[in-house]
Structure 1
Amino acid sequence: MEAFTATAVIGVGNEFRRDDGVGRVVVGLLRDRAAQRQLPAYTVFAQCDGDPGRLIELWDNTALAIVVDACFPPSAQPGRTHRWDAATGDALRTAAAGRHSTHGLGLPDALRLGAVLGRSPGRLIVYAVEGMDRSMGVGITPSVARAVPRLVRRIEADIEHHSASQGGARARTAPHDGTRRTGFAADGRSA
């Protein structure tokens, strides 16, 4: 990021690997909605393939970074959404041995590298949407697509709550909307 950005919403994934593209779909919809509905100033939307260097570049010098990605746990419930907030103090765990993200190195690696380089966001929220299909092809599955509108509304609320909390006031907890708040491993398993 060139100058200070209040919020960066980053959709991670590969649009040519079906449900793995959900982060990109969410960011695209948020970008479209922002054109119709004013979001707080200095909110940017970006898409990323998950490379740690690119993630660090996108969230560098931000007060809030929201990352949206797919996860593929062994017993997936496609469309179920997990929320992890760094402000809770819980660590984002790495994937178990033998399990890999479709992005190679994962988000926990980017967090550690960003911290070492002094290039971490002020606050980080991660949404992981359980998917079932990461085969070659475009378009997310219907189960995952049904989760997108609710997730978009939740991210808009996160942005607005964070913006309202700037100035020293503690952010209010956003209303419960069915999003599951949990710790999760980079391979998508719930903590």
Structure 2
Amino acid sequence: MTAVVIALGDEFRGDDGVGPAMARVLDGCGLPARIVVSRGDPVELIDWWNGVHVAVILDAVTHVHPWPGSVRVIDPADLQTTAAGTHGFDLGAAIALGRALDRMPDRLVIVGIEITAPGRGPGLSAAVAAAAPEVSRTVVAAIAGEAPHSDR
């Protein structure tokens, strides 16, 4: 089985850096997955997830849950033309492009971590940093095939 965890975010925008911060936590867990950090280039995402068994995307989200630090698996089919994430790209469009090019993983899991708003400078708020154990459990479950996901 091949797996990749793609952590999205900008470490210099406060809580928006939750993806890279969680990637560092996961990197020391011995997961059977490649862990990469991205600012969200759609072509780069497609290259990383193409042909793998499972791809897990970690991203900061706003207004999905009422409290910062909550973790939710997001169905890719629920993504609108503008992504729930906090970046200047459309994750839904990247997924649509990957499907059109037949360059998708067998399973795709999107893990959203609620933040209040992107900030300035490095570092996470206490509430978002406290999400690390839940993010880790969710990623482990996703790789094991126990989390909700989207089949090709």
TM-score, normalising length from structure 2? 0.86
Alignment RMSD (CA, Å): 2.3
Distance in 1 (CA, whole Å) between partners of 2:9 and 2:121 is 13
What secondary structure sits across from 1:33 in the alignment?
coil
Q: How do 1:59-78 and structure 2 match up within 5 A?
A: 59-73=49-63, 76-78=66-68
Q: Deviations over 1:109-147 (max 9, x none)?
A: 110010111111111000101101312110110001111
Pick the aligned partner of 2:10 from 6, 9, 14. 14
Indicate conservation of the 8 Å contact 2:71/2:134, yes or no: no
Indicate conservation of the 8 Å contact 2:7/2:22, yes or no: yes
1:114 is matched with which residue?
98
Distance in 1 (CA, whole Å) between partners of 2:65 and 2:96 is 28
Structure 2 letter corresponding to 1:64: V
2:27 is matched with which residue?
31
Q: Deviations over 1:35-82 (max 9, x none)?
A: xxxx44xx2111110121111111111110000000111874101111
Q: How do 1:1-191 and structure 2 match up within 5 A?
A: 6-34=2-30, 39-40=31-32, 43-73=33-63, 76-85=66-75, 91-94=77-80, 101-159=85-143, 161-162=144-145, 173=146
Structure 2 letter corresponding to 1:28: R
Distance in 1 (CA, whole Å) between partners of 2:12 and 2:81 is 23
What secondary structure sits across from 2:53 in the alignment?
strand
Q: Aligned pair count?
A: 148
The 3 A distance-change label for structure 1 pair 31 and 75 is: closer
Structure 2 letter corresponding to 1:134: P
What secondary structure sits across from 1:158 in the alignment?
helix
What's the % identity of the aligned pairs? 34
The 3 A distance-change label for structure 1 pair 82 and 100 is: closer
Q: Deviations over 1:136-171 (max 9, x none)?
A: 110110001111122112212322x23xxxxxxxxx
Gaps of 5+ in 2: none
Structure 2 letter corresponding to 1:82: R
The 3 A distance-change label for structure 1 pair 100 and 154 is: closer
Aligned-pair CA distance for 1:95: 5.3
Indicate conservation of the 8 Å contact 2:60/2:86, yes or no: no
Structure 2 letter corresponding to 1:103: H
